[in-house]
A and B are shown apart, each in its own frame.
Chain A
Amino acid sequence: MYKLVAASILVVLPLSANAADLSDSFVFVEESITPPAPYVVGHLELSAGWWHREQEEFAGTVTEDRLLLEGYGRVNLPFAGNWNLELDTGVTYGFRDSPQDDQVHAGGVAHLWAGLGDVRLGAFGGGYYLWNASDVSLWVAGGEAEVDIGNNLTVGFQGSYSDPDGCGSCEFVYLTGWMDFYPMPNTKLGLQGGWYDFINFDISALEF
């Protein structure tokens, strides 16, 4: 904005024959200074979509479609220099044929993280509750990191250990990574991939 004001003055000055004429010659430029962001920032995220599952079972392939509604809220609280506490909570509701069979999971995690220049390092922990045919509560803890590469790209990684109750020995680890590309500051194109493994089951799976 200062450059614009200075440019206006430079244009106006040669037109002024003397100092007395200057007041008539100035062009008033309305300053539009963006106020600083609040100390605590956050967002609400709402989405609706379609969920499709195909699973091979003894009786054949089971196919299932659901309407999916999600609502998430996240807020970041900076404290003590570069340290931050981000609260991340939400609910996902999957509608099935019978309302009593609807699948819902709700919960949240807290991310404790530090900003070190272009790098963000954190640890998180929390819990979710899954309402379905057999209710399951699940605790999760893990670590995470994100780094900005240049002006347009952010890459990140997250690893976690989850200990569900109510489904036997089904603890699992989950590793995921992501790339967010910002062709413009207000536009994001993101990709994410992940891998999980049940610790006590002979089951491993890859998310392509």
Chain B
Amino acid sequence: MSGIAEHRFSGTPVSLFVKASYDANFDQSYEVVTVAGGLRVFFDGNALSLQEHDRQVPFEYWLPAFANNLGL
């Protein structure tokens, strides 16, 4: 599972976020933990809130963490 906290600075094209994730298989013989921080730069004329922007660009696809091990 993963979690994120993000805040967009009002009237600017920038937000900052921190996120963390934990991935494991059933018997926990494989576990991955990630912690990261970053920023988003929005191209919406500063006319949208973070929530409005997320509704207009709603979908993301992230490779699952275990995909890093494919082929190893």
- A98, chain B: closest CB distance, angstroms: 14
Determine if A134 is an interface residue (Cβ-Cβ < 8 Å): yes
* Complex contact B60–A74 (CB within 8 A): yes
- Complex partner residue of A105 from B26, B31, B66, B67, CB under 8 angstroms: B67
Q: Name the interface residues of A133-182: CB closer than 8 Å to any CB of B.
A: 133-136, 138, 140, 142, 144, 146, 148, 154, 156, 158, 160, 162, 164, 166-167, 170, 174, 180, 182
* Complex contact A130–B68 (CB within 8 A): yes
Residues of chain B having any CB pair with chain A under 8 Å? 1-10, 15, 17, 19, 22-26, 29-45, 47-61, 63-72
- Complex partner residue of A138 from B60, B70, B72, CB under 8 angstroms: B70
* Complex contact A53–B56 (CB within 8 A): no
The CB with the most chain A CB atoms within 10 A, among B10, B19, B22, B48, is that of: B48
- Complex partner residue of A49 from B35, B39, B55, CB under 8 angstroms: B35
* Complex contact A206–B25 (CB within 8 A): yes
Closest to A118 in B: B55
Total A-B residue pairs with C-beta atoms closer than 8 Å?
226
- B23, chain A: closest CB distance, angstroms: 5
- Complex partner residue of A188 from B24, B54, B58, CB under 8 angstroms: B54
- A160, chain B: closest CB distance, angstroms: 7
Closest to A152 in B: B51
* Complex contact B37–A188 (CB within 8 A): no
Q: In whole angstroms, how far apart are the Cα atoms of A174 and B9 in the complex?
A: 34
Question: Which residues on the B side are within 8 Å of A134 (C-beta)?
Answer: 71-72
